Structure 1
């Protein structure tokens, strides 16, 4: 995943969200199926690596495309919907693994259907925001017109005029925005605000992957059937997703994620002090911690994407997720560490979560702000009231309805 995320992030920002998504989803099915025909451990590991390189960016690509097609008032609902589908995927994974316990059969059942994502070439629209950022206005207008026709909406003359008229750069600020499109990564590195934000977001991602996967891995070590335990731990994620849907648009991103990290940190540290005679309490704290970190993980996708500009959104989100893989690399070592110091993994989970919560106090609130298109806009998030243009309200409604 360290290799995959920057590659697919670049493809997404350079050649489009749709291409990155279709490429990732179809390749993971084609390459992953080859594992069933492995003749050695070395071949299996190589195919596993190539499969992950191809498929690790499928969810980020789908998420970025979705939030860019929808209006800001739909972001939380969309994130919750995608989170619930991830839970359904996890439950399906456990059920299929229990049904087809011979690994070759399991692979041949699970992977080939991914090739059906080739149909998305015809059914899925490209991100209108990305098309406009690439000055491909005619393609964006064509998608909007198709959406209007599908929803039986008649565009006003003013809307048509705005869509068909080339934008002219009139002010020095607009010229500066255009210059930011050139040498994007140089602009990013020259922006202390964006670089600091990138470092903070990277720690959030390290924390999420470390705690989320660490708790998931340890779940199969709990008493009882490992498939049932895994499904239980995955199922409680629905609580976190629903919580996000209820509070992210009400109390804001920062307060919600801060609370999630703090609750997770306290729960994990508290497990250390639970007497051996009260395993039910340890399990309860375990599930509370899993719910909290899932809530943080679900919300951090949206919050991170709202902090960075359109031209580099997937690349920077991919960078944060890439660095976050440090957490998922370390997480599987925690059961080994517990052999020597049984309380240390829980303390490490809790400490990283509490640090992440503290860093949440250093970034701006993005509630009720539109997605920034340029680095300058990203630097000034929440510094002043933001207008909801340039996207025409009627146009946004049409696209949202179509999606």
Structure 2
């Protein structure tokens, strides 16, 4: 968002203790919420870097935890982390807390991407894995398209964040609907459970 300093008509004048923002497109952004102007303008980009760093750590850590505690358990937990942290981002009273919540949100996203992908691939036979892999990415890209539409309708960053975070928490309940990976069950010597899962697959 652009701003003018006080009564000045010049856009982006620095330093500026009294910015007047142009709200013609967005009603609130991270920059307006935390005063990210002039030398602090790069802080917005830093927060995005923190999000992606969390995504990297989440993918590494949750991938390992999924091998121990199960794909489905970690996937559901990561979805809950994304939803809760995403909602808390909207209510962060300071930029520092905002960044912490963004890191946690990224952590959950990284874990959900890895465990969700592995779970999807392990549900199917080897001959279908390339097709399933493609469909998983289609779902992600569709989500990005939908997010663009939501951002067009909601020009307030807090409202937008809540709109994309609250529905994610519903995916936690997939833990009670979906079946655990039969491959993981067999790797953990839970053969009887794996057989039951495969039998249910065969009846579908």
Task: Give the distance between the partners of 1:132 and 1:53, measured in 2 at CA.
Answer: 28
Task: Give the distance between the partners of 2:151 and 2:100, measured in 1 at CA.
Answer: 22
Paired position in structure 2 for 1:364 = none
User: Does the alignment pair 1:28 with 2:89?
Assistant: no
User: Does the alignment pair 1:37 with 2:91?
Assistant: yes
Q: Secondary structure at the match of 1:132?
A: helix
Q: Secondary structure at the match of 1:57?
A: helix
User: Does the alignment pair 1:49 with 2:103?
Assistant: yes
Paired position in structure 2 for 1:116 = 170
Q: Secondary structure at the match of 2:56?
A: coil
Equivalent pairs counted in the alignment come to 150
CA drift of 1:35 comes to: 0.8
CA drift of 1:94 comes to: 1.1
CA drift of 1:22 comes to: 0.6
Q: Secondary structure at the match of 1:56?
A: helix
Structure 1 unaligned spans of 5+ = 152-401
Task: Give the distance between the partners of 2:201 and 2:105, measured in 1 at CA.
Answer: 35
User: Does the alignment pair 1:62 with 2:130?
Assistant: no
Tell me the C-alpha RMSD between the 2 structures. 1.3
Flag the structure with larger Rg.
1
Task: Give the distance between the partners of 1:2 and 1:77, measured in 2 at CA.
Answer: 25
TM-score (norm 1): 0.36
Paired position in structure 2 for 1:16 = 70
Structure 2 unaligned spans of 5+ = 1-54
The C-alpha deviation readout for 1:55-90, integer Å capped at 9, x for no partner, is 212121111111111011111211221122122111
The C-alpha deviation readout for 1:33-54, integer Å capped at 9, x for no partner, is 0011111111111111111122
Task: Give the distance between the partners of 2:172 and 2:108, measured in 1 at CA.
Answer: 14
Paired position in structure 2 for 1:130 = 184
Task: Give the distance between the partners of 1:31 and 1:38, measured in 2 at CA.
Answer: 10
Task: Give the distance between the partners of 1:105 and 1:37, measured in 2 at CA.
Answer: 10
Higher relative contact order (CA 8 A, sep 6+): 1
Matches within 5 A, 1:180-199: none
TM-score (norm 2): 0.70
Paired position in structure 2 for 1:295 = none
Aligned with 2:139 (options 70, 76, 85): 85
Task: Give the distance between the partners of 2:100 and 2:114, measured in 1 at CA.
Answer: 23
CA drift of 1:145 comes to: 2.8
Tell me if structure 1 keeps the 8 A contact 2:57–2:110. Answer: no
User: Does the alignment pair 1:99 with 2:158?
Assistant: no
List, as ranges, runs of 4+ consecutive aligned residues in structure 1 with deviation greater than 3 Å: none
Task: Give the distance between the partners of 1:121 and 1:80, measured in 2 at CA.
Answer: 23
Task: Give the distance between the partners of 1:6 and 1:81, measured in 2 at CA.
Answer: 23
